[in-house]
Structure 1
Amino acid sequence: MLKRIGLFFILFVFLVPKGWSQEKLVAKANEKYDEYSFSPAIDIYSRVLKKGYVSADLLKKLGNAYYFNADYMEAAETYKRLVDNYPDEVSAEYYFRYAQTLKTLGDYGHSNAIMAKFTEATTDDIRAKAYKSEKEYLEDIRKNSGRYNLENFEYNSPYSEFAPSFYKKGLIFSSDRDTGNLARYRHTWNSKDFLDLYKVNADSTSMNFVAKLGKGVNTRLHESTSITTKDGEILYFTRNNFKEGKYIKDDKGIIRLKIFKATLVDGVWGDVEELPFNSDKYSVAHPALSPDERTLYFASDMPGSLGASDIFRVSINEDGSFGTPENLGNNINTEVRETFPFVTENEILYLSSDGHPGLGGLDVFGTKVADGKFDNPVVNVGAPINSSMDDFTFILDDVSQKGYFASNRPEGQGADDIYAFTQTTPLIVDCNQTITGTVRDKISNEPLVGATIKVIDESNEEIYATITDSQGNYKLSIDCNQGNFVRALMEGFVPEEDYLSKSDGKPQIVDFYLERDTVNAGFGDDLAKLLQLSTIYFDFNKYNIRKDSEIEVEKVIVAMEKYPSLKIKVNSHTDSRGEDAYNLWLSQKRAESTVNYMIAKGIAKSRLTSEGFGETKLVNKCRNGVACSNAAHELNRRSEFIIIQ
Structure 2
Amino acid sequence: MKNINNIFLYSALFLSFSVFAQQGKQKKADTLFNKFSFVKASKVYQELIQNNYNKDYATRKIADCYALLRDPRNANRYYKSVVKQENVPVEYYYKYAQSLRGMKKYKESEIWLQRYIDSGGAPGNNDFTKNVNFISSVFGAKQQYFLDKVRFNSKFSDFGAFEHDGKVYFASSRDEGVSTKRLYGWNAQPFLDIYVAKAGTRKNVDHTAKVPGEINSIYHDGPVTITKDGKTMYFSRNNFTKGFEIKDNKGLTNMKIYRAHLVDGSWTNIEDLPINGDDFSTQHAALNSDDSKLYFTSDRPGTYGGSDIWVANINEDGSITDVENMGNLVNTQSAEGFPFINAEGVLFFSSDGHIGLGLMDIFATIKGDDNAIVDIINLGIPINSSTDDFAFTMNPNGVTGYFASNRRGGRGSDDIYAFHREPVLHVEGVVTNAINMTPIEHTKITLYDENDKEIAFMHTDENGYYQINIDRNKDYKIVASQNKYIEDYRKFTSKNLQTELITIPTNLLLNPVHDVAKLAELKDIYFDYDSHEIREDAAKELLKIIYLMLYDYPDMVIKIESHTDSRGSLSYNDKLSIDRANATYNYLIRGGIDPSRITAHEGFGSRQLTNGCESDTDCEEADHQLNRRTHFTVVQME
User: Shorter-normalised TM-score: what interval?
Assistant: 0.3 to 0.5
The structure whose Rg is larger is 1
TM-score of the pair, normalised by structure 2? 0.43
